[in-house]
Amino acid sequence: MNLSLALNTKQLEAVKTTEGAVLVLAGAGSGKTRALTYRIAYLINKGIDPYNILTLTFTNKAAEDMKRKVKELIGDVSKRMWMGTFHSICVRIIGQNIKALGYDRGFVIYDQNESKDLISDIILTMNLDKEKYDPKIVLNMINKAKMNMWSKRELINNYLEIGGGSEEFYQNIGDIYLKYNEVLKDNNAFDFNDLIGKAIELFEMNEDILEKYQERFKYILIDEYQDTSPFQYKLASMLAGKHQNIFVVGDDYQSIYKFRGADMENILNFNEDYPDCKTIKLEQNYRSKKNIIEASNALIANNYRQFDKKAWTEKDEGEPIIICEALNEYGEADYIAEEIDNLIKFSSYSYNDVAILYRSNHQSRVLEEAFIRRRIPYHIVGGLGFYDRKEIKDIISYLKVAVNPQDTIALKRIVNTPKRGIGAKTIDKLINHAQEHVPEFNLFSFAQEDNSLGLFDVMKDPSGVSGIGKKTAERIKQFRRDLEDVITVKESRLTLPEKVDKILKVSGYQAMLELDGSETALNRLDNLAEFLALTENYYNKNQNRDLEDFVRDLKLLSDQDDMNNSNQIKMMTVHASKGLEFPVIFIVGMEEDTFPHYRSVKSGMLEEIEEERRLCYVAMTRAADRLFMTYARERQRYGETRSMTPSRFLDEIPTELILEGNHYRNL
């Protein structure tokens, strides 16, 4: 492995600085992944046991990409190394020490919809008004509290400080917060935010367990450090506490996930946390033409609190940046469609070389209409993720019930799918009856080792429930018998893929779609076939994993790369484009209140505008060859036609980098 031929001087320095804390400031397109993978290979070649190396990423796609590249460099020797997202690594830590946290091995992980349903049930049992305590809003508040490690009192005080509600309102939110955490524990369940929080809790309560992992992970590497939350920062600090060999790669210019809990201060203060750290700047850009780099440098220079660095390239100047003014959003879409047609006809580009980036999802509609009229193929990245599709959520719910029949949320989802004549009102009657007449009943109990009864148990004999007739009662009993068949499959000696396939059949779900025969049903069958392929792939990687492992790990699969390789234009939000690159980029809606977003403008806070500017920087640096930026003089907003002002970010691009020196090109 000849490093001097594979890496530039700064990358080589990053790879070979193996001891102590290292901060690598890696600009867009500067080869940070290359530096990371070569560093891992270098450590192992130097004699470091892969067992002692931990690499933390933010997406499964990034982890898989790095694993593949490390394997190409040094072979299968890297298998003993832990590499994955913060959440997946924490699941492994929790799984290895689950008893110390007071949970059972067969724990489950709730997604956002399941958490919302649980909160909805809690609001119901607390007799609170769902109009006032919207479950989705309450969940967002709880998520924020968990990401910031707030207690109930801190949640109340912090939201009171923000304003917009009474103390009684926030007191009730705090009570929901406590009840929600209590129910998760009773159900042997975690939500997504718990995964890191519980790992931290495990370490805080058990010094010996923390020391075991500190001793194991003598070398810690973290990608995209600018996106770490207080949770992730604390976890990394604890793990690195003994050996201090922590290597972080990031770019403060690309810190755009504050709304997800990311704290840019983590990277800005790294040299304060580790005073002896070495800082290395990767400033050579291998992606973009010179004009694009100079334009993005000029833009980001308007931010104040950031590291001093400047991207450069050995590539040629490239085409000027085109900034186009349109009359309205329809003119903007027509212009983009026409330019794409020209690029395909008169240049060497294909459709999959082009991406359309927008600040908000709703901006895609008018563009879609223009592309349909011109027969331009397109794909909306993140429009509806694979795991968000109804049929996938349905079959996952069947698998959850197979693993744990007391999973009330999963049970309620599938009770009438396929149709069984058991509606939501019937289930509510059954629950209300059980709450009044069955002392052991607990709607929230998933625990299988205590004496409480759940929805699955009371379904065994629904006779005598007011409002439930004999026919409906028999349907409920038959449904429970069907589920017993599903549970039997789980207990069988079949392989994991065979179990999932059989549950599809035993549940009647596959037959329902086959009998339907509509185009929608056939598409759903195709998606279920893809799900079976996914199951097979998961099983082939480790044949010791069973249904419990699969159901839990499904929560960790990332839909961020909702990409396909077909020849289509890709359309996505700027946030979704992070980490991607395309030869041609169109950034649409470059107006005040659109980009920067109106909430940031309205806040009047410098830090909000600076995050929007970083977001624009990310959008611009996705482009390798050509960059188009468009705005409209007027736009429909909330049923009204509004006059728009060009984005301040356009004025921050030097005019000499724009087509013919004109700041705007008019339609």
429 is known to lie in a ligand binding site: no
Q: If we measure between CA atoms, which residue out of 143, 131, 132 comes closest to residue 170?
A: 132
26 is known to lie in a ligand binding site: yes
C-alpha to C-alpha distance for 121 and 113, rounded to whole angstroms: 12
Indicate the pairing of strand 278-282 with strand 22-26. Answer: parallel
Q: Burial, 667: exposed, middle or buried (Cβ in 10 Å; 0-12, 13-18, 19+)?
A: middle
Cβ neighbors of 117 (< 8 A, separation 6 or more) are 135, 409, 412
Q: If we measure between CA atoms, which residue out of 478, 438, 472 comes closest to residue 455?
A: 438
Longest CA–CA separation in the chain, Å: 82
Residue 462, CB half-sphere, CA atoms under 13 Å: how many?
Answer: 27
397 is known to lie in a ligand binding site: no
Q: Burial, 219: exposed, middle or buried (Cβ in 10 Å; 0-12, 13-18, 19+)?
A: buried
Indicate the pairing of strand 53-57 with strand 219-222. Answer: parallel
Q: Tell me phi and psi for residue 384, to 5 degrees.
A: -150, 110
> Which H/E stretch holds residue 452?
none
27 is known to lie in a ligand binding site: yes
Q: Catalytic residues, which ones?
A: 32-33, 223-224, 254, 622
String of b and e for 558-581 (b: at least 16 CB within 10 Å)? bebbbeeeeebbbbbbbbbbbbbe
382 is known to lie in a ligand binding site: no
Cβ neighbors of 211 (< 8 A, separation 6 or more) are 242
| Residue bearing tokens 């379904």 | 459
* Edge-to-edge strands, sheet with 569-573: 378-380, 569-573, 354-358, 582-587, 623-632, 322-326, 665-666
348 is known to lie in a ligand binding site: no
User: How large is the angle between the packed helices 86-96 and 230-239, nearest 10 degrees?
Assistant: 60
Which two three-digit tokens encode residue 303? 């931010």
C-alpha to C-alpha distance for 370 and 365, rounded to whole angstroms: 9
311 is known to lie in a ligand binding site: no
17 is known to lie in a ligand binding site: no
Going by the annotation, the residues of the binding site for ATP are 26-33
Going by the annotation, the residues of the binding site are 26-33
